[in-house]
Amino acid sequence: MNEPILRVRDLSKTYMQGKIPVHALSDVSFDVQKGEFLSIVGPSGSGKSTFLSMIGLLDKPTSGSVFIDGVEVTKATDSEAPVIRRKKIGFVFQHFNLIPTLSALENVDIAMRFARVPKSRRRERAIDLLTQMGLRDRMNHKPSELSGGEQQRVAIARAMANNPAIILADEPTGEVDTKTRDMIVELLRGLSEKGQTILVVTHDIAVSAKTRRIITMRDGMIESDRMIS
Amino acid sequence: MFDIILKNITQRKLRTGLTIFGIALGIFAVIVMGGMSEHFNQTFDRSISLTADKIRVFPEIGFGGGDLNESKAREVKRVTGVADAYGLLQASLDPESLGFFGGDAVIGVQPEKFPSLLRDTKLTEGRFLTFGDGYRTVIGSSVAREFNLKTGDEIQIKSKSSLRTSSIAHARNFTVVGVLEYTGSFFDNSVLIPLKTAQKFYERGDTVSFILAVPDQGVDAEDLSKRIELNVEKIKTFSPEQLRKQIEQSLVVFTLITISAAVLAAIIGGLSVMNTMLMSVSERTKEFGLMKALGAETRDILFMTMGESAIMGVLGGIFGIIGGGALVYYLNDYLASRGTILFSVTPRLLVISIVFSTLLGIISGLYPAYRAAKMSPMEALRYE
């Protein structure tokens, strides 16, 4: 078997709520192979969002480690974190989180700017990605002029921009109707079939049912981890 | 990144406009106040350089108070090292309406001393005074403009009795025989008349206001100034250096007052930038968090936010310079018709204004930028 693209080892996170410690994550360990399309499900407070923040370097664990593409990201310093974020990780958020003042094209472009990609290549890649997302004729529209589904597709294109090792999607269908939801899930599935690793956090069973592997979390621990054939 | 900065600025047009207006007002004040201060410095420099070689001799009691007999000039001239010495009588052209900054002055001088007094200043028309000229005058360029005078025209000079404070003793018309070129010094506001005529007209007998002593070639003016004071009784001398120091001192105070008023105005403009940026940063908390999640580095965020405030500073500076420049231009134009000029917008002032407004923008953006940059992406993304 190949080296897993994501390796999580004994990951724990304890918050202090006043003087009471809250164990948001306790000794979570698992591997994800390249091209996998998996979902993490669980009720609110089960630790799935905390977990996503750890992998995405948005938060630091209390103990344990995360390796992405062989690099231990949990050891990254404040100055290394941005580099890892833009090279290894693509984010898709529930609220799309597009920059309202920028057009669809510019929203995809900006992710590559931070990665210091030259201008000519950025434009070409952004057009290519938006075309893949079926947004070729919507490229110059601002987020406010796009539907929820279109916005989320722009966000996915943005996440793909720097060819990340893994795409982390936090409730990507939380704000769209069922038809759009199905379309977005299909899109992600299609990307994974082309070799893109995608990790979706959701509590929508219809979404997780379309993924190939479901990790269920409860009280900060993995309750089950099963493959769907 | 520049295009994104511009987008952010133009996104909030009214707020950006008001902020830029705040800075522009500050820089406007810098230009107007600074222009005034620059003008006084320039006039002072030119006036000093025109008379830099001469020592001023005043009566011991004070500048205006005591009488200085013309015979003292002969005493001064006898001091070793003095090439020439002559008295001048100075009075206000119109004692009833003292101008804002002293107004025009009548200077009585012996016609043969013109070359010494004015050095290489030329005439734009007419001739200098000659021996035997009575009620004739050579006027400075500002006076000519103020009263719209040419050679052959007449100018009225009024004298006031020193005993009665409010009434004019008498007035008399003098014929203009020559107009001086623009010198940028106090000579521009001078009406030069023969000393004898002045003494008669002002009923001053044989007295003069002060005496100018011209040192011999190679003689140190400072030393000579002290020697004159030792050798001639009841007088006080002002060497060119002393005069420079004294005027500089009063100019420093004036400059400080004008500049600090202007700087205060500009700092208030700077605070408005800081306010705008803080507001804009807190509004975009989520945006900055997102950018960090996308891999933006601290310096990217700093560059973006400080870029915004710097551009507002530069624009404010440009508009302030245009506004201040326009006001100064029209005020100078108006004042010139009344015989005076009050402002000089020098290249130095322009550079200072634009650098100052840019720095103001950058410094005011520093704290908001720092707040934006240190935001944790996690907290920023959660922020609603």
For residue B358, the one-letter residue type is T
Instruction: Tell me the C-alpha distance between B308 and B297, whole Å.
Output: 17
Q: Are B98 and B213 part of one and the same domain?
A: yes
Nearest of B102, B84, B106, B111 to residue B93 by alpha carbon: B106
Is 90 exceeded by the pLDDT of residue B376? no
Using DSSP's 3-state secondary structure scheme, residue A58 falls into coil
Q: Are B177 and B78 part of one and the same domain?
A: yes
In a domain, B53, yes or no: no
Q: Are B251 and B229 part of one and the same domain?
A: no
For residue B301, the one-letter residue type is I
Identity of the residue in A85, A87, A102 whose CB atom sits nearest the CB atom of B293: A85
> What's the pLDDT score for residue B242?
82
In a domain, B98, yes or no: yes
Rounded to the nearest angstrom, the minimum Cα separation between A57 and chain B is 8
Report pLDDT digits (tens) over B79-103.
Answer: 888 888 888 888 887 766 654 455 7
* Strand-pair category, B168-180 with B154-160: antiparallel
Q: Are B183 and B227 part of one and the same domain?
A: yes
Instruction: Tell me the C-alpha distance between B88 and A126, whole Å.
Output: 83
Residues of B in contact with A97 (CB under 8 A): 286, 290, 381
How many Cα atoms within 13 Å fall on the side-chain side of residue A119?
A: 3
Residues B10 and B20: beta-carbon distance below 8 Å: no
For the domain made up of A36-59+76-227, give the CATH fold: Rossmann fold (3.40.50)
In a domain, B214, yes or no: yes
> What's the pLDDT score for residue B281?
80
> What's the pLDDT score for residue A145?
93
> What's the pLDDT score for residue B367?
85
> What's the pLDDT score for residue B234?
81
In a domain, B152, yes or no: yes
Distances (CA, A) of B69 to A1, B52, B170, B215, B246: 116, 24, 23, 20, 25
Which residues 24-63 on chain B approach chain A with CB closer than 8 angstroms? none
Is 90 exceeded by the pLDDT of residue A198? yes
> What's the pLDDT score for residue A108?
92
Distances (CA, A) of B311 to B5, B17, B19, B62, B364: 9, 12, 11, 55, 12
> What's the pLDDT score for residue A140?
92
The reply to whether B383 touches chain A by the CB within 8 Å rule is no
Q: What percent of chain B has pLDDT over 90?
A: 7
Last residue of a domain, one of B184, B211, B233: B233
| φ/ψ (deg, to 5) at B65 | -65, -60
> What's the pLDDT score for residue B101?
52
Instruction: Tell me the C-alpha distance between A48 and A221, whole Å.
Output: 9
> What's the pLDDT score for residue B66?
62
Report pLDDT digits (tens) over B283-331.
Answer: 888 888 888 888 888 888 888 888 888 898 899 999 999 999 999 899 8
> What's the pLDDT score for residue A166?
92
Q: Angle A5-A9-A14 (CA atoms, 0-180°, nearest 5)?
A: 125
> What's the pLDDT score for residue B314?
92
Query: What's the pLDDT band for B168 if we cut at 50, 70, 90?
Result: low
The reply to whether B295 touches chain A by the CB within 8 Å rule is yes
End-to-end CA distance of chain B: 26
> What's the pLDDT score for residue A39?
93
Crossing angle (nearest 10°) for helices B221-231 and B71-78: 120
Report pLDDT digits (tens) over A142-181.
Answer: 999 998 889 988 999 999 888 898 999 988 888 888 888 8
In a domain, B241, yes or no: no
Residues A16 and A22: beta-carbon distance below 8 Å: yes
Report pLDDT digits (tens) over A41-52.
Answer: 988 888 888 888
Task: Report the residue of chain A nearest B380, measured CA to CA.
Answer: A58
Instruction: Tell me the C-alpha distance between A129 and A108, whole Å.
Output: 8
Identity of the residue in B7, B287, B295 whose CB atom sits nearest the CB atom of A86: B295
Is 60 exceeded by the pLDDT of residue A196? yes
Domain carrying residue B19: 2-45+247-382
Q: Are B218 and B69 part of one and the same domain?
A: yes
> What's the pLDDT score for residue B132?
83
Q: Are B293 and B214 part of one and the same domain?
A: no
Burial of B218 (0-12, 13-18, 19+ CB in 10 A): exposed
Instruction: Tell me the C-alpha distance between A33 and A18, whole Å.
Output: 39
For residue B226, the one-letter residue type is K
Task: Report the residue of chain B nearest A54, measured CA to CA.
Answer: B378
Average confidence (pLDDT) over B139-159: 86
> What's the pLDDT score for residue B161?
58
User: Considering chain A, what is the average pLDDT of its residues?
Assistant: 89
Q: Are B324 and B302 part of one and the same domain?
A: yes
ipTM of the complex: 0.85
Is 70 exceeded by the pLDDT of residue B162? no
Which residue carries 């940063």 as its tokens? B281
Q: Are B136 and B186 part of one and the same domain?
A: yes
Is 70 exceeded by the pLDDT of residue B364? yes
> What's the pLDDT score for residue A78?
83
Task: Show me where the domains of chain A are located.
Answer: 36-59+76-227
Report pLDDT digits (tens) over A180-195.
Answer: 888 889 988 988 998 9
CB atoms under 10 Å from CB of B84, counted, come to 15
Average confidence (pLDDT) over B142-146: 85
Q: Which of B294, B300, B382 to mutate to test the interface with A (most CBs of A within 10 A)?
A: B294
Which residue carries 């010094």 as its tokens? B185
Q: Which of A52, A77, A99, A119 to mutate to test the interface with B (most CBs of B within 10 A)?
A: A99
Is 90 exceeded by the pLDDT of residue A213? yes
Paired tokens of A153: 């597709």
How many independent structural domains does chain B possess? 2
Which residues 194-253 on chain B approach chain A with CB closer than 8 angstroms? none
The reply to whether B13 touches chain A by the CB within 8 Å rule is no
Q: Are B221 and B253 part of one and the same domain?
A: no
User: Considering chain B, what is the average pLDDT of its residues?
Assistant: 83
Is 90 exceeded by the pLDDT of residue B5? no
Report pLDDT digits (tens) over B106-130.
Answer: 899 988 888 888 877 888 888 888 8
Crossing angle (nearest 10°) for helices A119-132 and A104-114: 130
In a domain, B238, yes or no: no
**Contact across the interface for B294 and A79, Cβ inside 8 Å:** no
Last residue of a domain, one of B166, B198, B233: B233
Residues of A in contact with B287 (CB under 8 A): 99-100
Distances (CA, A) of A126 to A193, B6, B37, B192, B367: 21, 21, 56, 79, 34
Instruction: Tell me the C-alpha distance between A213 and B193, whole Å.
Output: 107
Residues of A in contact with B378 (CB under 8 A): 53, 58-59
Q: Angle B199-B203-B205 (CA atoms, 0-180°, nearest 5)?
A: 60
Report the Cα A205 to chain-centroid distance in Å: 18
Q: Are B185 and B68 part of one and the same domain?
A: yes
Is 70 exceeded by the pLDDT of residue B62? no
Last residue of a domain, one of B179, B198, B233: B233
Q: Angle B306-B308-B309 (CA atoms, 0-180°, nearest 5)?
A: 65
Strand order across the A6-17 sheet:
A20-32, A6-17, A63-68, A71-72
Could you give the residue ranges of the DSSP H alpha helices within A89-160?
104-114, 119-132, 148-160
Q: Are B225 and B255 part of one and the same domain?
A: no
Is 90 exceeded by the pLDDT of residue B48? no
> What's the pLDDT score for residue B226?
87
In this predicted structure, which of A132-136, A162-166, A224-228, B261-265 has the lowest mean pLDDT? B261-265
Q: Are B185 and B323 part of one and the same domain?
A: no
Average confidence (pLDDT) over A19-36: 90
Instruction: Tell me the C-alpha distance between B154 and B147, whole Å.
Output: 10
Residue partners of B227: CB distance under 8 A and separation at least 6: B79, B80, B81
In a domain, B51, yes or no: no
Identity of the residue in A100, A106, A114 whose CB atom sits nearest the CB atom of B294: A114
Query: What's the pLDDT band for B383 if we cut at 50, 70, 90?
Result: low
